[in-house]
């Protein structure tokens, strides 16, 4: 295993352990305080911990050698993982919406606000620490999985902080004419947060499905290749030069369709062209598999 893979593996393990500890903390505090929003946060951390475990296994598969059963490697497992993660988060958010709308319509439920502030302080601190660990690993490796972990922990920290602010405001309103709101603040927070973040798992699922179906990737992946390679048409003595790009996980598959001007091309010249295009493609995106196909456009 390379040094980059070791760093990625260690960061994911720490993220997994941290997520599971925060999940236990959230579920225990939710059962004591009766807070649905803390239960949602705890379950989200539980899913994150479970997904981090699978992401560790996926990265190990990806870093391994190709096999007869998987001649193109295990890169599509990363796309499948993204799809599964998005689906699990979507199910969690829909269940939270359904349960808390019912509680809200039935008159709400008054949580123990004092305990909630203790939970929030620990949760925010834990999320910030795990965010810093994931960000350090991402900067050292450039791993897309660690990049996703970094974003997830940042969002989690912001959500936990927002929950704390909302509970703090509710505590200040107790004993005033607006004190009645404390019965509903918990359910309102869950519903609002669920609606705000329901787009994220849908985006993850869409991305995973597109990669599994070998659809063209987003322009951010395609445009740099076009800018780097298409201007080489005359230099490569080609009448036409086209690019086909697909993405599965962290691997980009680039097919260069080349229509040479001459009727013949030497094997050595062709191999030089392929080597040059492969080198330039890796300068755009390091984990790129390049194939060159000769085609005659009639």
Which CATH number does 219-294 carry? 3.30.70.1350
Q: What is the CA radius of gyration of the chain?
A: 25
Reported as a single tens digit per residue, the pLDDT across 240-282 is 899 999 998 888 999 999 998 888 888 898 899 999 999 999 9
> What confidence score (pLDDT) does residue 41 get?
81
Q: Of 151 and 130, which is predicted with more confidence?
A: 130
Query: What pLDDT, on the 0 to 100 scale, is given for residue 2?
Result: 65
* Stretch 97-125: mean pLDDT: 79
Q: What is the pTM of this model?
A: 0.76
pLDDT number for residue 200: 83
Q: Determine the pLDDT at residue 279.
A: 94
DSSP string covering the chain, please?
--HHHHHHHHHHHHHHHHHHHHHHHHHHHHHHHT-HHHHHHHHHHHHHHHHHHHHHHHHHHHHS---SSSTT-SHHHHHHHHHHHHHHHHHHHHHHHHHHHHHHHTT-----HHHHHHHHHHHHHHHHHHHHHHHHHHHHH--HHHHHHHHHHHHHHHHHHHHHHHHHHHHHHTTSTTGGGGGTHHHHHHHHHHHHHTHHHHHHHHHHHHHHTT----HHHHHHHHHHHGGGTTTTTEEEEEEEEEEETTEEEEEEEEEESSS---HHHHHHHHHHHHHHHHHH-SSEEEEEEE----
Query: In this predicted structure, which of 56-65, 75-84, 238-247, 256-265 has the lowest mean pLDDT?
Result: 56-65
Alpha-carbon gap, residue 30 to 22, rounded angstroms? 12
- Per-residue pLDDT at 283: 92
Q: Which residue has the higher pLDDT, 262 or 63?
A: 262
- pLDDT of 257 reads 93
Distances (CA, A) of 115 to 168, 180, 184, 188, 249: 12, 19, 17, 19, 42
**52 or 186, which is more confident?**
52
Q: Is the pLDDT of residue 1 over 60?
A: no
Look at residue 227 in the predicted model and tell me its pLDDT: 92
Extract long-range pairs of 277-281: CB within 8 Å, 24+ residues apart. Answer: 277/229, 277/232, 280/228, 280/229, 280/232, 281/225, 281/228, 281/229, 281/254
User: pLDDT tens digit string along 2-42?
Assistant: 677 788 888 888 989 999 999 999 899 888 877 777 887 88
Domain definitions of the chain by residue range: 3-212, 219-294
pLDDT surpasses 70 at 215: yes
The domain made up of 3-212 has a fold known as Alpha-lytic protease prodomain-like (1.20.1510)
Tens of pLDDT, residues 165-202:
777 777 777 777 777 777 777 778 778 888 888 888 88
By DSSP bridging, strand 238-248 and strand 288-294 are unpaired
The percent of residues in the chain predicted with pLDDT above 70, rounded, is 95
Tokens 């203790």 sit at which residue? Answer: 118
Distances (CA, A) of 287 to 45, 136, 258, 272: 31, 21, 22, 20
Return the minimum-mean-pLDDT range out of 74-88, 149-163, 220-234. Answer: 149-163
Please, what is the average pLDDT of the chain?
Answer: 84
């Amino acid at each position: 295993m390379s040094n980059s893979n070791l760093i990625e593996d260690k960061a994911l393990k720490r993220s997994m352990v941290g997520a599971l500890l925060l999940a236990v903390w959230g579920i225990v505090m939710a059962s004591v305080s009766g807070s649905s929003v803390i239960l949602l946060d705890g379950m989200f951390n539980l899913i994150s911990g479970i997904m981090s475990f699978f992401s560790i296994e996926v990265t190990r598969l990806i870093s391994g050698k190709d096999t007869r059963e998987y001649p193109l490697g295990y890169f599509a497992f990363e796309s499948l993982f993204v799809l599964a993660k998005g689906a699990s988060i979507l199910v969690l958010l829909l269940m939270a919406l359904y349960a808390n709308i019912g509680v809200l319509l039935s008159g709400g439920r008054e949580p123990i606000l004092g305990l909630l502030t203790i939970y929030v302080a620990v949760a925010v601190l834990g999320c910030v620490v795990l965010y810093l660990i994931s960000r350090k690993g991402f900067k050292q490796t450039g791993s897309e999985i660690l990049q996703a972990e970094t974003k997830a922990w940042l969002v989690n920290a912001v959500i936990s902080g927002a929950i704390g602010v909302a509970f703090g405001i509710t505590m200040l309103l107790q004993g005033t004419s607006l004190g009645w709101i404390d019965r509903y603040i918990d359910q309102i927070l869950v519903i609002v947060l669920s609606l705000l973040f329901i787009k994220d798992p849908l985006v993850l699922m869409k991305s995973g499905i597109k990669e599994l179906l070998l659809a063209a990737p987003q322009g951010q992946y395609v445009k740099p290749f076009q800018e780097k390679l298409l201007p080489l048409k005359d230099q490569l003595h080609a009448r036409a030069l086209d690019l086909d790009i697909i993405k599965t996980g962290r691997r980009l598959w680039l097919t260069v369709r080349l229509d040479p001007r001459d009727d013949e091309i030497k094997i050595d010249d062709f191999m030089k062209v392929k080597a040059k295009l492969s080198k330039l493609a890796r300068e755009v995106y390091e984990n790129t598999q390049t194939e060159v196909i000769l085609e005659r456009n009639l």
